[in-house]
Chain A
Amino acid sequence: MLNQRLKHGIITKVVGPVIFAENMENIAMYEMVKVGLDKIIGEVIRIEGNNAVIQVYEDTTGVSPGEPVEPTGSLLSVELGPGLLNQIFDGIQRPLTILEKESGFFIKRGRYPEALPRNMKWPFVPIKKEADRVTAGDILGYVKESPLLEKHAIMVPPHIKEGKLSYIIKEGEYTVEEIIAKIDCGQNNIVEVSMITKWPIRKPRPIKRRVSTYLPLITGQRIIDALFPIAKGGTAAIPGGFGTGKTVMQHQLAQWADANVIVYIGCGERGNEMAEVLERFPELKDPRSGLPLINRTILIANVSNMPIAAREASIYTGMTIAEYYRDMGYDVALMADSTSRWAEALREISGRLEEMPGEEGYPAYLASRIAEFYERAGRCEVLGSDERYGSISVIGAVSPPGADFSEPVTQSTLRVVKVFWALDTNLAQRRHFPAINWLTSYSLYKNDLDLWFAKIFPDWPNLTKEIMQVLQEEEELIEIVRLVGPDALSETQKLILEYARKIREDYLMQQAYSPTDSYCDLKKNYHMMSLLSYFYNTAKALVDNGIPVSKINSLPAVQELGRMKFVPNEEFESFYHNLRERLKSDLSSLTKGVKS
């Protein structure tokens, strides 16, 4: 135990979310404490002699110097076990549904209901038997946690090197606190295992090793999957000014990404956005299984007017939960919206501590904290004697002041993440969504993932390259038009502009709220690219033969390209063959009039 003595300290000063206390001998860094007469939760963030500085996770109004500070002997931790999915927690894992039942629609402070339901019984199926030798991470059995996660693994705790199973409970229904196994680790050390464990949020859970084989995290968002893909276990940042579509994109990824578990952290953003997820996800179906998406989702909500210290903690709470599912061998995707609000919480607390400010008032350790956070992402071989792999993909929204990407949070983030989806205010104002700027965004996974895509669609890499080239050429041509007017362009150049326009409007733009367009599977994505490319390459031959672009463009089959995104995934293949035939015949009808 961290703390033998449970003598309490005394508050000497209160400044917003930060309190100072004396008489705090033997307190540990990041130890959880109970502050004041209301016993609200705080965490020690600095120790100087017998004095400690504590960040408090709830509103400190009414707390005064002289009140006690009670050490708890444990680090700020989360509860892990069945019952996490489908829930909404605050930044320090207080279950918001239960808080609502206990104290109504305004959040009251000083209440700490347990995160995991204690009375609920879970069906446990053992897969190990008595006398089996086990080691950290070995799976003792499974619990059906939700329809989308039928195998929640109950694992041997990470600190156990080697042991023999001296007891394992038979198949049946148990609560999270019941002892389901005992592990004899020798020297009279018997470790009892229940379905619930605790883990300190600031400490990464151990793994065996990181691996670097690349698999894509399929998102169903055309521009991402095709041009700027993210790998499972990868990291991505979505910076953008207000209203550019960060949250919509995060919601899209939470809905459609092919992960087993989604951890969605609403970090200092709007209450209504969490309400939206809570209302919509139970209705939305997972495209693979047809089951409601909420069954694989865990929400962490610290909205903008909730206490800022809990905002600081929220991303670690979410990350620890993500690691727990990764350790079972699952692919987890974690979204944090917005990491800028987390950084601002850090800045505010640092300011109250009167630390030496760095750039724009952020503490000097901002960059290292950001790096440490993203470092917890990755694909790895997890603990356990069977060979299991799990991953955490992290997608962080960034909200740069004035949409100026040169600010510290954006810059520190870009130094560590591998994918950059730059949202563009101009595109958003033109209602081009997703407003990902195709010229400045990048994915460092693109080349590696192309190998994977090429196994399914051999010309996928070429098609995506062609798109990028055309968009680049468009930029140059637009510049010419700006300088000398559209008359200066040749018909071939006009065709390039037309192709680029079709790529932007008929392919890249994707309606999040359209039932048929919101999720585009890989096959449809590929077929859309093929159709556009087919159009361009066939039309080019015609233009070379003197047929004007305007004429090509008015062909019914060409016009039809504009509606292809709304063709449902299931119907797309036949639509594709059909439209391709029609493009072919329509376009070739033009050649008939041309003398060769």
Chain B
Amino acid sequence: MTLKPVIAKEFKTVSAISGPLLFVQKTRNIAYGEYVEIISQDGSVRRGQVLETSFEMAVVQVFEGTGGLSREHTVVRFTGEPLRFPVSTDVIGRMFNGSGKVIDGGPPIIPKEKLDVNGAPINPKSRAYPTDFIQTGISAIDGMNTLSRGQKLPLFSGNGLPHNEIAAQIARQAKVRKTEEKFLLIFAALGITADEARFFRNSFEESGALSRSILFLNLAQDPTIERILTPRLALTTAEYLAFEEDYHVLVIITDMTNYCEALREISAAREEVPGRRGYPGYMYTDLATIYERTGRVVGKNGSITQMPILTMPNDDITHPIPDLTGYITEGQIIVDRALHRRGIYPPIDVLPSLSRLMKEAIGPNKTRDDHKELSDQLYYMYAEGRSLRELVAVVGEEALTERDHMYLKAADRFEREFISQGRYEERSIEQTLDIGWNILSSFPESELKRISLSTIQKYHPAKRHKV
């Protein structure tokens, strides 16, 4: 980028205020995307960014909202620079608000670099395909929808479901085995309640993870438009730590639904033609600028793994927020209300869940050589059991065959023994797989069509006990 002289320009020509937007007139030569400071009558400073600029006018989105700003007394200061965030390893263990101000009472951050919060796309040529298995200790994930380092894998949940517990459990337990590498947790809260934020903080503290965490908190009472900024601060920090300082960073962002609401609010204020259900037509691209900031690059040791959480309005997976997310992320973990009602924790429905990077993350030297075949067979078994359950609901149990009963029973056991586990229960991948084998051992071998004879020889409980 050509270096232009950085000259801040101040204007007092706000002509209109609409939602989170300021319209400033008679601005000349204001750059698109430029970082703006808005000084209100009482001298307090808010931050903003230029969304549109012409000879005569600039449109500025104000992250802290426009409440209390007046046309007459607002000074708008254009800085001539993009919005940057100061980074260094000093940020580790610290807590910020949603626009990046230190809120833990500690000293200010001494920056090593100041980075543009919008980042830049990673050259696809430079990416290294994720292959390292992350053990979360949760069977439904490790066994059936394996997470790997550098993956973006969201939790799709609903209001009142225990997605926070699941995320906290993952944050506590996630590890790449046989390594002693530098691991960090970045947590970005977008519009969650203070209680929820406290829950996470306590959980990190309990597990001793707080000292290797970085928290960005935009809570429910905080300005909504700030939510556009918060994940970008978190990811800018993550990129620095992963690619400059060699850390393996897990980024948890919750709740992306609130992010999308903020996006919708801005779009409405700009009077754009709305897309589906009022969300802007560019929401896919916008979400991609968050989710794609994940991964590994060739020649760098660190990595960014992303686990966004979103609550599906009305539990509707076709709603634009989960839908567009699913089109960008590398799979999804579905937290299911029906399982939750039946008292199963974690209530993860493995059938619609998916980890697209699983195939490269499992197998000999990563998990175990039987993993793929076993999980395929468990899938088949559980899907079969579930569809039989539906059939029973219609025609009753009598009509079922011997084989059908076997599947029904196994599906129940699968939910109670494999999916279900304690909030503090951390299962190794071997334990997870062995539970799977126990359930499958109730079937005659001829039913285990997805498992090769040699694998059965090696891992089937009936065979193993004989050795």
Residues on A facing B (Cβ under 8 Å): 12-16, 20, 37-38, 59-67, 88, 96-97, 99-100, 104-110, 241-243, 266, 268, 270-272, 274-276, 278-279, 301, 303-306, 308, 341, 344-345, 347-348, 351, 357, 360-361, 399, 401-404, 429-431, 481-482, 484-487, 513, 554, 559, 562-563
Contacts and interface: CB of A to CB of B under 8 A. Distances in A.
A107 B118 CA distance: 13
B122 A271 contact: yes
Contacts of A242: 323, 326-327
B467 interface: no
Contacts of B103: none
25 contacts: A14-B53, A15-B32, A16-B52, A59-B118, A61-B32, A61-B82, A65-B30, A66-B29, A96-B123, A100-B125, A105-B123, A105-B243, A108-B120, A241-B326, A243-B331, A274-B125, A275-B125, A305-B288, A360-B276, A403-B318, A481-B391, A482-B394, A484-B395, A485-B394, A486-B395
Nearest to A20: B54
B423 interface: no
A66 B2 contact: no
Interface string B11-30: 00000000000000000111
Given A109-B1, A305-B292, A360-B275, A13 B330 contact: no
A94 B1 CA distance: 17
Given A62-B1, A65-B54, A347-B281, A270 B292 contact: yes
Given A100-B125, A513-B359, A37 B2 contact: yes
Interface stretch (B164-172, B210-218, B348-356): B348-356
Contacts of A16: 32, 52
A559 B449 CA distance: 9
A337 B270 CA distance: 31
A566 to B, nearest CB: 9
A16 B289 CA distance: 14
Interface in B366-413: 376, 379-380, 383, 391, 394-396, 399, 401
A331 to B, nearest CB: 27
Nearest to A10: B55
A106 B120 contact: yes
Contacts of B2: 37-38, 110
Interface string B44-72: 00000001111100000000000000000
Contacts of A60: 32-33
B290 to A, nearest CB: 9
A104 B282 CA distance: 28
B314 interface: no
Given A399-B327, A485-B399, A303 B32 contact: no
Contacts, number: 217
A140 B430 CA distance: 64
Interface of B: 1-2, 4, 28-34, 51-55, 82, 116, 118-130, 150, 243, 272-276, 281-282, 284-285, 288-289, 291-293, 295, 297-300, 318-320, 323-324, 326-328, 330-332, 351-352, 354, 356-357, 359, 376, 379-380, 383, 391, 394-396, 399, 401, 446, 449
Given A105-B298, A106-B122, A303-B292, A431 B272 contact: no
A15 B52 contact: yes
- By CB atoms of chain A within 10 A, which of B52, B282, B351, B359 has the most? B282
A458 to B, nearest CB: 32
Contacts of B383: 429-431
- By CB atoms of chain A within 10 A, which of B243, B275, B289, B298 has the most? B275
Given A96-B125, A430-B383, A431-B376, A65 B276 contact: no
A107 B120 contact: yes
Contacts of B352: 429
A99 B399 CA distance: 65
Contact of A66 (B1, B28, B281, B331): B28
A406 B330 CA distance: 25
Contact of B118 (A15, A61, A270, A430): A61
Given A341-B284, A344-B281, A65 B273 contact: no
Nearest to A65: B55
B395 A306 contact: no
A401 B276 contact: yes
- By CB atoms of chain A within 10 A, which of B1, B331, B399 has the most? B1
B124 A274 contact: yes
Nearest to B349: A429
A268 B287 CA distance: 12
Nearest to A345: B285
B54 A13 contact: yes
A183 to B, nearest CB: 38
B174 to A, nearest CB: 19
Contact of B282 (A63, A105, A348, A357): A348
Contacts of A430: 351, 383
B288 A304 contact: yes
Nearest to A13: B54
Nearest to A56: B32
B82 A62 contact: yes
B286 to A, nearest CB: 9
Given A268-B288, A272-B295, A403-B318, 14 more contacts: A13-B54, A37-B2, A67-B29, A105-B122, A242-B326, A270-B292, A270-B328, A272-B130, A272-B357, A344-B281, A344-B284, A351-B273, A429-B352, A486-B395
Contact of A266 (B32, B121, B124, B401): B124
Given A107-B123, A271-B295, A305 B30 contact: no
B49 to A, nearest CB: 10
A243 B32 contact: no
A493 B236 CA distance: 62
A67 to B, nearest CB: 8
Contacts of A61: 31-34, 82, 116, 118
A276 B399 contact: no
A399 B320 CA distance: 13
B123 A100 contact: yes
Nearest to A98: B125
Nearest to A266: B124
A92 to B, nearest CB: 14
Contacts of B150: 272
Contacts of B124: 88, 96, 266, 271, 274-275, 278, 301, 303
B122 A107 contact: yes
Contacts of A485: 394-396, 399
A18 to B, nearest CB: 10
A351 B32 contact: no
Contacts of B116: 61
Contacts of B53: 13-14, 64-65
Contacts of B332: 243
- By CB atoms of chain B within 10 A, which of A14, A60, A108, A301 has the most? A14
A361 B282 CA distance: 11
A424 to B, nearest CB: 13
- By CB atoms of chain A within 10 A, which of B127, B318, B376 has the most? B127
A482 B54 CA distance: 64
Contacts of A348: 281-282, 285
Contacts of A345: 285
A348 B280 CA distance: 9
A482 B376 CA distance: 26
A272 B127 contact: yes
A304 B328 contact: yes
Contact of B1 (A13, A110, A272, A562): A110
A241 to B, nearest CB: 8
B379 A431 contact: yes
Nearest to A19: B32
